[in-house]
């Protein structure tokens, strides 16, 4: 806290109305005080999402080499209780990373609550899988896309504006979900589908 305070005291904000430094008696100018509040809010936000970010990165490091060496028969023939192959489950996780990325961006500048198409309801997730034909896509490309789409998701989570965390989107006609809750739930969803893949690998 002391270092942050000292850094802000020495920080000069661009613009004619915000160039004053903190005074020697310890009071902060209005602009510097505002920066202090923003910085503190960012610190709280990053700590709040730290387990989510770390959890995603850990799973990526663990699962990328596992997925990369799977045989064609394993990834195209074994199916879960939703009749999805491993390739299709990975495709669904790619869609999840993509849609959640767009959702996070929209929820930081669109009016709240925001209406954003829910790719995962009313059978839409299977439509996405079928239309994109993940079953026939190159497996190496899919594994790389899954990895890097999630790394980008981690990056944007780290950069969410704290003031936007309570912005909401319409999950359904009778349910709203906040940006914050959506981010927190992402790791659970990722673990769920990797668990399905693990079961199919060892079937």
Q: What domains are there in the chain, each with its CATH number?
A: 46-201 (1.20.120.450)
Question: Per-10-residue mean pLDDT for the chain, 203 residues long?
Answer: 41 43 49 54 65 97 98 97 97 97 96 88 89 98 98 96 95 92 96 98 94
C-alpha dihedral (64, 180, 51, 125), degrees to nearest 10: -20
Q: How many other β-carbons are positioned within 10 Å of the β-carbon of residue 142?
A: 19
pLDDT value for 118: 83
CA distance 55 to 36: 29
CA distance 77 to 161: 43
pLDDT value for 11: 42
pTM summary value: 0.78
pLDDT value for 151: 98
pLDDT value for 9: 40
Which residues, at least 6 apart from 151, have a Cβ–Cβ distance to it below 8 Å?
A: 57, 60
CA distance 143 to 64: 7
Judge contact between 72 and 192, C-beta under 8 A.
Answer: no
> Exposed, middle or buried, 74 (CB in 10 Å: 0-12/13-18/19+)?
middle
Closest CA to 183 of 145, 156, 151: 156
pLDDT value for 130: 96
pLDDT value for 170: 92
pLDDT value for 179: 96
Q: How many other β-carbons are positioned within 10 Å of the β-carbon of residue 153?
A: 22
């Amino acid at each position: 806290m002391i270092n942050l305070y000292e850094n802000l005291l020495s920080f000069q904000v661009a613009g004619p109305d915000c160039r004053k430094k903190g005074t020697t008696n310890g009071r902060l100018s209005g602009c510097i005080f505002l920066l202090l509040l923003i910085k503190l809010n960012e610190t709280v936000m990053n700590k709040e999402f730290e387990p989510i970010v770390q959890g995603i990165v850990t799973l990526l490091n663990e699962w990328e080499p596992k997925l990369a060496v799977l045989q064609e028969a394993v990834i195209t023939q074994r199916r879960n209780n939703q009749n999805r192959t491993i390739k299709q489950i990975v495709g669904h996780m790619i869609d999840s990373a993509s849609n959640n990325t767009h959702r996070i961006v929209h929820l930081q500048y669109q009016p709240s609550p925001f209406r954003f198409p829910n790719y995962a309801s009313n059978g839409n997730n299977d439509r996405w899988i079928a239309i994109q034909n993940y079953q026939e896509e190159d497996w190496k490309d899919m594994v790389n896309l899954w990895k890097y789409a999630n790394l980008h998701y981690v990056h944007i989570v780290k950069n969410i504006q704290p003031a936007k965390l309570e912005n909401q989107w319409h999950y359904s006609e009778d349910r709203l979900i906040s940006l914050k809750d959506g981010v927190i739930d992402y790791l659970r969803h990722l673990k769920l589908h990797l668990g399905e893949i693990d079961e199919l690998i060892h079937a």
